[in-house]
A and B are shown apart, each in its own frame.
Chain A
Amino acid sequence: DQQVKQNSPSLSVQEGRISILNCDYTNSMFDYFLWYKKYPAEGPTFLISISSIKDKNEDGRFTVFLNKSAKHLSLHIVPSQPGDSAVYFCAASAPGAGSYQLTFGKGTKLSVIP
């Protein structure tokens, strides 16, 4: 049973527009959420995170929104740039419950079209 779900395998967006990547989770113990970006033939790199005590976290062009009641989070990229083309992984953990594991979604491939 997949606890972190990214239901869109791919997304195409025009350069300069907003990219919205979605993630749903089922485990109510999750209280810390992260987004990673991965280019081909490289390891994932950390992008942005959010704790369950917040509903929004912003870092430059990247904003993560958390809706705890819906068990849903989203990553907004504004404006999108061609260099943002990559696979984006949503991840969740339960540090409050003493869990040291990051549980990842399957990823969404973002293509930003110039």
Chain B
Amino acid sequence: NAGVTQTPKFRVLKTGQSMTLLCAQDMNHEYMYWYRQDPGMGLRLIHYSVGEGTTAKGEVPDGYNVSRLKKQNFLLGLESAAPSQTSVYFCAAGLGLGTEAFFGQGTRLTVV
């Protein structure tokens, strides 16, 4: 009953470094999402995918790239990390059409 699993849980990056956050789901859901949560800002959608091989931009996509090569995995990449990308990142998977999504436990990223 893993649901949605995010790797890693914590990471500290130096400005300019790159990294990839991995999200894996075992619920066979078509839709997957990446959100970031900042203090006082709620959750904001970065990118999402409506199925294997598809991706689309959300509300705050700049500085991020994503890939959905396999249905169960959704990767979020930071090519050149900036301090403004310090945040908690949540991945979610769902049935789509704006219905309930199931979230992972989050990745706390600090860019120094």
Contacts and interface: CB of A to CB of B under 8 A. Distances in A.
Interface of A: 4, 6, 9, 32, 34, 36, 41-46, 49, 89, 93-95, 99-107
Contacts of A49: 99-100
B97 A95 contact: yes
A66 B37 CA distance: 26
Contacts of B48: 100-101
The 5 closest A-B pairs by CB, nearest first: A93-B98, A43-B103, A95-B97, A95-B98, A106-B42
A44 B103 contact: yes
B98 A106 contact: no
Interface size bracket, B side: 20 to 34
B44 A104 contact: yes
Interface of B: 4, 31, 33, 35, 40-45, 48, 50, 56, 58-59, 90, 92, 96-106
A43 B43 CA distance: 11
Given A89-B42, A100-B48, 14 more contacts: A9-B40, A34-B99, A41-B106, A43-B4, A45-B103, A46-B100, A46-B101, A95-B97, A100-B56, A100-B96, A101-B48, A102-B101, A104-B35, A104-B43
